[in-house]
Copies of this chain bind each other. A is one copy, B any other.
Amino acid sequence: MSTSDDDVLEALRSTFSPHTLTTDPAELDAHAVDKGPLEHWQVHVPRAVVFAESVEDVQTLVRLSAEHRFPLVTRGAGTSVSGGANSTEGSVVLSLTRMNQILAMRPEDEVAVVEPGVINADLNAAAAEHGLMYAPDPASYRISTIGGNVATNAGGLRCAKYGVTRDSVLALDVVLADGTLIHTGQATFKGVAGYDLTSLFVGSEGTLGIVVGVTVRLRHLSRHTETIAAFFDELTTAAQGVLEIGKARVQPAITELLDRNTMVALDQAQGSDLAGRGNTLLLIQTDGHGAAIEAEIIREVLRGLGATVSDPGSAESERLIELRRHARGDGIATEVRVGEDVAVPRSKLVDYIRAIEDLAEEHQVQLKVVAHAGDGNLHPTFSVPSSELSPESGPETSPDDDAGSPALPEAAPVTLDAAEGDLPASAMSRLHAALDGSVRLALEMGGTITGEHGIGTYKLRWLDWEQSAEVIALQRRIKDVFDPEYRLNPGRAIL
């Protein structure tokens, strides 16, 4: 399909300065992969990387890609844990990390306009100066970009109360596959003129156009938060606690559930003794002017269920929630892990966790579970001991929601196949069987294969378990409208 490599490089070099364009092998390698699990044959080193510094740079590159017919893989910080930012064969990577300016901060309107390369945490820091926050808080928020968050419709811990990325995006500037710049949406909280193109671009993983500007809604940064740690003997009771909080009509900002194995892993990493205090931990945070009242209601509800509940102002609770938010807490070099990102209706949390516990036992793999329990979004992590695999296999990345934390060393792509080729195939196939089974179970319980990480390339194999042939066909026809030559981030998000 594409012009020869030489022609493409020549066209790029005659257009972009060496400051903007690189073919340095180390840079190419660094831009070939993201933080998703990738089999080695899926790694494609790009032809070049262009660090766009303006909308015009993006338009110019897109037009070159149209002329010379090479695929463009657009990328922010590369923190996708689903392979949404991996390079594809013959592609040029478009990095938007240099387009990192907050173009407007309008505190009275509770709106900001940013370039796509702005780091989520930087936007939050700027908003905080005005008593505001940008609500979507993926675990990668200290390093991931708003553009990447938009591409995946990123979630986080606060979604049950404040919504996902889509709920905070009001308008977009998008460069289409032919280089045209369009503006969608409006700068106001409400607007219903025509089709909701903004929402169509959000979560489309860069396959419909390149987002070069984002108008976001900001929300009030709470002056008050209260954090509660509640230890339960039984998972069932903890999940019941989540539902009882709902029945008390309290909407916490954060409701995290950690299972026993997660606590054990945290204890190992932190020297704590969480697992000695219970088998399931709920970490809950309330915010807003009613935070203290809501926290008191929650404490009463959970004590009523027999939980050991932290006192008001508990410093440990604060520390635990930060640990949950910022750290994987499980930097264990002796296992190969693959995490998941399913969501199920909240009432199915216990059934789901019990079922995947059975699955783990059946396939003889280890299982840890954390969940954004308020919205039924679970991150089970399945693992096998590294000792069962190649001795040279190092620690593997886990596509859980915490991948990309800056506390972590830069991760190499998971080369599952390589491992598989080296030593007991049975370990890897057990891991795969458990993963497949866990995804199937989520669907059977009325859930989804991905709550917040996106399809990327990694989850394509499960997509037609969730979507009908008709929906798949419709999405292809929409892709055809926007990018009939499949030049923009080909091979991800849709089948």
A-to-B contact residues, CB < 8 Å: 106-111, 131, 152-153, 155, 159-160, 163-164, 166-167, 176, 180, 182-184, 186-197, 199-200, 202-204, 208, 219-223, 243, 246-247, 249-251, 288-291, 293-294, 297, 343-347, 372, 375-377, 446-455, 459, 463, 466-468, 470-472, 474-475, 477-478, 480-482, 493-494
Is A190 touching B470 in the complex (CB atoms < 8 A)?
Answer: no
Give the interface centre of A108, A291, A493 by most chain B CB atoms within 10 Å: A108
> Hey, which chain B residues are within 8 Å of A297, CB to CB?
289
Further contacts, 12 of them, CB under 8 A, given A159-B190, A176-B474, A190-B376: A108-B345, A155-B190, A164-B192, A183-B468, A186-B466, A187-B345, A188-B451, A189-B376, A190-B448, A194-B493, A220-B249, A290-B290
Which applies to chain A's interface (DSSP): helix, strand, loop or mixed?
loop
Interchain Cβ contacts under 8 Å between A and B, 16 examples: A108-B347, A176-B474, A182-B470, A186-B343, A188-B345, A189-B375, A192-B450, A193-B450, A193-B455, A193-B463, A194-B475, A197-B471, A197-B474, A251-B288, A290-B290, A290-B293
Question: Would you call A188 and B343 a contact (CB within 8 A)?
Answer: yes
Checking B110, B155, B183, B221 against A471 with a beta-carbon cut-off of 8 angstroms, the contacting residue is B183
- Is the beta-carbon distance between B160 and A189 smaller than 8 angstroms? yes
Q: Report chain B residues within 8 Å CB of A186.
A: 343, 447-448, 466
Query: Which residues does chain B contribute within 8 Å of A468, judged by CB atoms?
Result: 182-183
Q: Cβ of A190 and Cβ of B452 under 8 Å apart?
A: yes
Closest-by-CB residue of B relative to A209 is B474
Distance between A462 CB and nearest chain B CB, rounded to angstroms: 9
In the complex, which residues of chain B have a beta carbon less than 8 angstroms from the beta carbon of A455? 192-194
Of B189, B221, B249, B494, which one neighbours A249 at CB under 8 angstroms? B221
Closest B residue, CB atoms, query A156: B190
Q: Which residues of B contact A106 (CB under 8 A)?
A: 345, 347
Known: A202-B196, A249-B222, A289-B297. A111 touches B188 (CB 8 A): no
Whether A194 lies near B345 (C-beta < 8 A) is no
B249 near A131: Cβ-Cβ < 8 Å? yes
- Residue numbers in B under 8 Å from A288 (CB-CB): 251, 288, 290
Query: A153 contacts which chain B residues (CB < 8 A)?
Result: 192, 196
Residues of chain B within 8 A of A345, CB atoms compared: 106, 108-109, 111, 187-188
Give the contacting residue for A478; candidates B152, B195, B452; CB below 8 A. Answer: B195
Taking CB atoms, residues of chain B closer than 8 Å to A200 are 195-196, 199-200
Report the minimum CB–CB distance from A441 to chain B (whole Å): 14
A466 to B109, CA, bound (A): 20
Q: How far is the CA of A108 from the CA of B345 in the complex (A)?
A: 9
Measured in the bound complex, the distance between the Cα atoms of B475 and A203 in whole Å is 19
A228 to chain B, nearest CB (A): 15
Q: A222 vs B248: C-alpha distance in the bound complex, in angstroms?
A: 10
* Chain B residues positioned under 8 Å from A155 (CB to CB): 190, 192
Contact B196 A166 (CB under 8 A): yes
The reply to whether A451 and B110 contact each other, CB–CB distance below 8 Å, is: no
A192-B152 contact, Cβ under 8 Å, with A468-B183, A470-B182:
yes
Report chain B residues within 8 Å CB of A493.
194-195
The verdict on A188 contacting B376 (CB below 8 Å), with A194-B455, A347-B108 known, is yes
Q: Taking the nearest CB of chain B, how far is it from the CB of A276, in angstroms? A: 31
Q: Kindly state the separation between the CA atoms of A190 and B375 in the bound complex, as whole angstroms.
A: 7
Q: A346 — which chain B residues lie within 8 A by C-beta?
A: 108-110
**Beta-carbon nearest neighbor of A453 in chain B:** B192
Alpha-carbon distance A459/B109, docked complex (angstroms): 26
Chain B residues near A247 (CB-CB < 8 A): 107, 131
Known: A470-B182, A471-B182. A190 touches B343 (CB 8 A): yes
Residues from chain B with Cβ under 8 Å of A478 in the complex: 195, 478, 481
Q: A108's closest neighbor in chain B, by CB?
A: B347
Cβ–Cβ < 8 Å partners of A194 in chain B: 455, 463, 467, 471-472, 475, 493-494
Known contacts A297-B289, A481-B477; decide if A193 and B466 are in contact (CB<8 Å): yes
Report yes or no: B451 in contact with A191, Cβ–Cβ below 8 A.
yes
With known contacts A188-B447, A191-B451, A451-B188, A109–B347 Cβ distance under 8 A: yes
CB of A135, distance to nearest CB on chain B (Å) = 12
Docked complex Cα distance between A451 and B475 (Å): 28
Cβ-defined contact, A246 with B108, below 8 A = yes
**In the complex, A106→B243 CA distance in Å?**
12
